[in-house]
Structure 1
Amino acid sequence: MPLRLIIGGNNPSDHAWSTGHYYSHPANWMWRILKKTGIAPSWVKGAEDDERMVSEAGVGFLDVGCGHPGTLLSEFTSETFQSWAPAFYARLKAHMERACSNTGCVCSECGAPAVVGFAGKRQWMELLNVGRKGRGKYTKLDHGVQQMRPQGWPFPPSTEVWVLPSTSGAAPMSTAHRVGPWQELADRIKLIEWPRKPQCLPKD
């Protein structure tokens, strides 16, 4: 089923890797934010419900560095992040293709998620900087909807990209600054139908 939202992280933390659930570390704000803003339905308890979120709320999770656990982001260089890009895009494209196939989409694009939201600025900036050098590199991003797309981005223009504050407990910021952009995203997600239907098929 085409998702309403895919939340993209940097890479799984050691805690998430060991539990098998996204953002499972008790100090991470992700599940508190998802419940507070309404992105997560009222029945969600926490990270153990990450798979149910996919089928019942249309919200999925994926890390740029899937299969590369580590707690300290500083351990991963820009070159490492950029080396992850092709495999990350391949996973996104495969998801879109499966969703198209499962819904009978004939345009090859309806399986794309409505929104991709990155939990933190760095991963999106690193993707944007693939192939860029010197002064051509991006060094600053604002939270919210993004207009630029990196080389190789697999989704059609209809898929919105948002950059949100990091939910890591190690990221110093006030609760208002951390939650505010996520609430804006939540308000956007509430406007997207679920389950989503292919737009290329004849209307009933």
Structure 2
Amino acid sequence: MTGANMPLAEKFGTKPLRLLIVGHNPSEHSWESGKYFSQPTNNFWKLVKESGLCDIEEGVNDDYMVENLCVGFTDVIRKHNSDSRVFKRDDYREKHTFFYKRIKDNALRVGGAPERIAFIGKKQYSMLFNPPLARVELGLQKEHPTDFPFECEIWVLSTPSGRSPMKWDQRVEPYKELADSMHLAF
């Protein structure tokens, strides 16, 4: 089974997470490869390396991060479509309860909630609020989404999409701030 017939597995590991990375939805390339942020034009792994969040060889390293660093990966919406523009408010409202259940069930399974959750992009964080936030700054957030299941640090990081016009320095800065907050523990 490949592609649309085989979903990309959420990657939570077997221990409480130091960091849970949350995308909006896996790309078709990720569904096909079984690896998060594997689309060649996606800059996520470059941002991770340059920010110091994880000092590993550049490339798709989600399995390494789960197994060795207690960093997990999931998405708010899990459908075959990577274009965030097609997902509307109703999609997020429909899926947010299931997203909360998945991350809460994992915390119960491993014996603890994530220390930090990092949303990769503003939209999926904003859409968890009712009504959605009109403005979201990158970095550590002061507000938790409606009915959020944990008291933990919540971060919003810049989109790693190759289509984003954001300048590289602006893009990497929130990743560096997150790495600093974790005391460069990796």
Specify the TM-score bucket, using the shorter chain as the normaliser. 0.7 to 0.9
Which residue of structure 1 lines up, in the alignment, with residue 72 of structure 2? 60
Partner of 2:138: 143
Name the residue aligned to 2:158.
165
Q: Which has the larger radius of gyration?
A: 1
Identity over the aligned pairs, expressed in percent? 37
Q: Deviation of residue 7 (structure 1)?
A: 0.8
Alignment of 1:97-116 (within 5 A): 97-100=108-111, 111-116=112-117
| Contact 1:23–1:30 under 8 Å retained in 2 | yes
Are the equivalent residues in 1 in contact too, given 2:119–2:155 (CA < 8 A)?
yes
For residue 113 of structure 1, what is the amino acid of its counterpart? P
Aligned to 1:169, what secondary structure does the other structure show? coil
Q: Is this contact kept in 2: 1:5–1:189, CA < 8 A?
A: no
Question: TM-score normalised to the size of structure 1?
Answer: 0.80
Equivalenced residue count is 172
**Aligned residue identity for 1:20:** G
Unaligned stretches of 5+ residues in structure 1: 101-110, 195-204
Measured after TM superposition, the shift of residue 69 of structure 1 is 2.0
Structure 2 length-normalised TM: 0.87
Q: Spell out, residue by residue over 1:17-73, the C-alpha distance to the aligned partner (whole angstroms, 9 max, x if none).
A: 11110000111010011111222232x4422x212211201211110012x021321
* 2:33 alignment partner in structure 1: 19
Q: Hey, what does 1:33 align to over in structure 2?
A: 47
Q: Which moved more, 1:20-29 or 1:146-155?
A: 146-155
- How do 1:38-49 residues align onto structure 2 when only pairs under 5 Å count? 38-42=52-56, 44-47=57-60, 49=61
Within 2, Cα distance between the matches of 1:4 and 1:190? 12
Post-superposition shift, 1:170? 1.0
Stretches of structure 2 lacking an aligned partner (at least 5 in a row): 1-14
Shift of 1:4: 1.0
Q: Which amino acid aligns with 1:92?
A: I
Query: Moved runs in structure 1, 4+ residues, more than 4 A?
Result: none
RMSD: 1.5
Name the structure 1 match of 2:101. 90
Give the aligned residue type for 1:146.
Answer: Q
Q: Distance in 2 between matches of 1:93 and 1:13?
A: 24
One-letter code of the match for 1:89?
Answer: Y
Task: Give 3-state SS (helix, strand or coil) of 2:180's partner.
Answer: helix
8 Å Cα contact 1:5/1:114 also seen in 2: yes
SS at match of 1:55: helix
